[in-house]
């Protein structure tokens, strides 16, 4: 009876550890669908165009450094994996700038939300359009 209790306790602890380790993987695998639940493309574009005006050159930022100037609902999507924020402007001055949000790790890879004005177009075959100017990218 005592060995069964010990075995049960060890099994419960082992299951808890596995669930704890799997959580970031699950969050990463469901990043796009969970993002769509917490923010709209219009909200992302309003935020991104404001950020593009604040940072008129290529810049890499931490979401935490932006404080309230970051859509807080995105922080809970995969907190162990990001996001990092990059403001990007192409060399071609006829193309608009955009903001890239990246979640990832060396083990899991990366996922991106790329957001710009409605005339921003991500031409990658791995980018999924939410609406004109807002793309989710799975490399």
State the Cα–Cα distance between residues 51 and 46, nearest whole angstrom.
9
Looking at residue 99, its pLDDT comes to: 94
Q: If you search the block for the tokens 């994996």, which residue do you land on?
A: 81
pLDDT in tens, 37-58: 999 999 999 999 999 999 888 8
Residue 89 has pLDDT above 60, yes or no: yes
pTM of the predicted structure, to 2 decimals: 0.78
DSSP one-letter code for 92: S
State the Cα–Cα distance between residues 125 and 134, nearest whole angstrom.
14
State the Cα–Cα distance between residues 85 and 58, nearest whole angstrom.
11
pLDDT in tens, 113-129: 999 999 988 777 778 88
């Amino acid at each position: 009876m005592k060995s069964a209790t010990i075995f049960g306790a060890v099994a419960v602890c082992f299951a808890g550890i596995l669930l704890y380790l799997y959580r970031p993987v699950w969050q990463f695998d469901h990043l796009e669908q969970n993002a769509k639940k917490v923010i709209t493309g219009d909200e992302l574009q309003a935020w991104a165009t404001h950020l593009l005006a604040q940072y008129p050159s290529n810049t890499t930022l931490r979401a935490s450094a932006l404080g309230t100037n970051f859509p807080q609902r995105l922080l809970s999507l995969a907190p162990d994996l990001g996001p990092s924020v990059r403001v990007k402007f192409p060399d071609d001055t006829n193309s608009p700038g955009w903001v890239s949000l990246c979640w990832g790790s060396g083990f899991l890879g990366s996922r991106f939300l790329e957001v710009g004005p409605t005339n921003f177009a991500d031409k990658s075959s791995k980018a999924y359009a939410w609406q004109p100017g807002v793309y989710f990218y799975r490399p």
